[in-house]
Structure 1
Amino acid sequence: MDKVAMLIGVLLAFLTFLGNIAYQEFRRQRERLQEEKDEKRKQELHAADMQLKAALLKQVEHPNGTHSTITTRACSTE
């Protein structure tokens, strides 16, 4: 009976070890995918921010190509 209990204990320990390896690999894969999604989202937000800034820059450009500021626009006699 002791040998059977020892065999069951060793088998359960081995199965636990294999289960832990499988879980750790699954967790690493999930974290890698999350990091890739985060990086892609960060790039998309940066691109959207650059488009917004470019649109705002176009709004403040003078016809001669120089940029105005709020104070020069307010003080302008045009």
Structure 2
Amino acid sequence: MTQSKDTIKKSYKQLSSEERGQIQSLYEDHYSIRAIAKRLARDPSTISREIKRGTVTQARHRDSNVQLWRLYPALFCR
């Protein structure tokens, strides 16, 4: 059995600002990372990295923090 040393060059395409806007909009509408990736024909890890990198506003975390602070007095203050 012979092994080939040929490699396949992967072509990388950066996300456009339009795609970043779509990611942000869909993420704010509570779409999952996989659903966003499917709509944009991108790998879920690409979408995840964009969100973690901070180029997309993380509205879910911001919203959950607001809800937590609204509940704080009822939970911890007596």
Tell me whether the two structures share a fold, i.e. TM-score over 0.5.
no
Q: Is the helix fraction higher in 1 or 2?
A: 1
| TM-score (structure 2 length as normaliser) | 0.31
| TM-score (structure 1 length as normaliser) | 0.31
Larger Rg: 1
Tell me which of the two structures has the higher relative contact order, counting C-alpha pairs closer than 8 angstroms and 6 or more residues apart: 2
